[in-house]
């Protein structure tokens, strides 16, 4: 009996629903991180707390999958497992670490908008490395979105320039590595399914994050944490990691990396609303104009891709 996942289809409503719900939940991550930073917690500690919460969930799900479906075990060859571990480290450890560090320097709103550019990198990597066709019609939409980022970048540069450039580069690095992860993850999921891949990749990333903090701060450091920080770690692990990772990967397996990336528009909107209400971050006319341009670019990007897909068929 074959266990491979069917090829993704861009017309799967359930796939889009999974991707949208995942994008919305992922958008809460920056809020919880900024709240935790307000208590003086280090980046490495917070990332490890997120993974301490998430790791048992993935291990339990992994054991359940292997116990219920014996035919999955033959997929776990050393080559497939190691490849899944490496992709998991790229997407769930390295990309997350860059993002967490970047949030030390930029607002949650701006961070989400910079991350929002990753669909453009998904397209470019697909063309450069994975044999996808270049859709030149999306170039204007990319320029519109980056113009929006420049508006907000310029406002921040005038008002609070400290750390802005390094923060932007770190979050942009997170977007780039996550875009590459999406292509590599899709290929692994076609072989072993979304659930099995997610468990292996996320568990590996969790071990890396926990080990990093143990090396830097030692096990005793966990005993000194305030209850509020543990609460933020719990929220990051469940709402910002476990649920959205399965939803995004399930959506990706059904509709593909490009279509999944096009649903990310919901993330910035939710982040902006929560950041203004909870974190009291400013939202000026410049933020409105920049956000509007970024979102408009995303809409134009999606439409151009859909037209291109129809033309290629």
If you average pLDDT over residues 231-250, what whole number do you get?
85
Instruction: Outline where 193-265 has alpha helix (H).
Output: 194-217, 227-237, 243-261
Match 């590996």 to its residue by tokens.
204
Cβ distance 272 to 291 under 8 Å? yes
Tell me the residue length of the chain.
313
Task: Give DSSP secondary structure letters for 180-208.
Answer: HHHHHHHHHHHHH-HHHHHHHHHHHHHHH
- The DSSP code for 132 is P
| Residue 235 scores a pLDDT above 70 | yes
Higher pLDDT, 218 or 2: 218
List the structure tokens of 44: 């490495």
161-217 pLDDT tens trace: 889 999 999 999 999 999 999 889 988 888 888 888 989 999 999 999 999 999 999
Nearest to 171 by CA among 246, 111, 220: 111
If you average pLDDT over residues 142-160, what whole number do you get?
88
Annotated domain spans of the chain: 13-123+162-279
- For the range 223-226, what are the long-range contacts, defined as Cβ-Cβ under 8 Å and sequence gap of 24 or more? 225/41, 225/45, 225/49, 226/39
Helices 43-68 and 29-37, packing angle to 10 deg: 140
pTM: 0.83
Higher pLDDT, 117 or 261: 117
Cβ distance 164 to 106 under 8 Å? yes
Calpha distance 97→211 (Å, rounded): 13
If you average pLDDT over residues 81-87, what whole number do you get?
94
List the structure tokens of 274: 């929560």
% residues pLDDT > 70 (the chain): 92
If you average pLDDT over residues 74-95, what whole number do you get?
91
Q: What is the mean pLDDT of the chain?
A: 86
pLDDT for res 60? 93
Higher pLDDT, 247 or 263: 247
Mention every residue, 6+ apart, whose C-beta is less than 8 A from residue 212. Answer: 44, 47, 48
List the structure tokens of 215: 């090396």
Match 């939409």 to its residue by tokens.
141
pLDDT for res 2? 40
Nearest to 292 by CA among 172, 147, 171, 159: 147
| Residue 5 scores a pLDDT above 80 | no
pLDDT for res 65? 86
List the structure tokens of 116: 């929002």
Cβ distance 49 to 217 under 8 Å? no
């Amino acid at each position: 009996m074959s266990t491979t996942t069917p090829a993704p289809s861009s017309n799967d409503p359930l796939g889009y629903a999974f991707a949208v719900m995942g994008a919305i939940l992922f958008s809460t991550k920056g809020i919880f991180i900024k709240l935790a930073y307000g208590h003086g917690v280090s980046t490495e500690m917070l990332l490890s707390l997120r993974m301490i919460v998430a790791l048992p969930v993935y291990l339990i799900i992994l054991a359940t999958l292997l116990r219920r479906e014996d035919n999955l075990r033959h997929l776990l060859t050393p080559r497939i497992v190691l490849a899944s571990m490496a992709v998991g480290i790229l997407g769930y450890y390295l990309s997350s670490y860059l993002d967490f560090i970047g949030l030390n320097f930029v607002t949650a709103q701006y961070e989400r908008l910079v991350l929002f550019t990753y669909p453009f990198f998904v397209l470019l990597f697909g063309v450069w490395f994975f044999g996808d066709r270049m859709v030149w019609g999306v170039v204007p939409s990319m320029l519109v979105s980056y113009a929006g980022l420049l508006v907000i970048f310029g406002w921040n540069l005038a008002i609070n320039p400290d750390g802005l450039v390094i923060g932007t580069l770190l979050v942009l690095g997170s977007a780039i590595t996550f875009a590459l992860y999406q292509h590599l993850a899709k290929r692994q999921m076609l072989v072993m399914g979304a659930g099995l891949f997610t468990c292996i990749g996320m568990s590996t990333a969790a071990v890396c994050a926990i080990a990093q903090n143990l090396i830097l701060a030692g096990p005793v450091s966990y005993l000194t944490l305030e209850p509020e920080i543990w609460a933020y770690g719990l929220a990051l692990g469940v709402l910002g990691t476990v649920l959205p990772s399965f939803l995004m990967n399930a959506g990706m397996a059904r509709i593909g990396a490009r279509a999944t990336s096009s649903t990310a528009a919901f993330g910035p909107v939710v982040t902006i609303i929560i950041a203004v209400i909870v974190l009291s971050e400013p939202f000026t006319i410049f933020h409105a104009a920049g956000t509007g341009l970024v979102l408009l670019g995303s809409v134009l990007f999606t439409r151009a891709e859909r037209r291109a897909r129809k033309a290629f068929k």
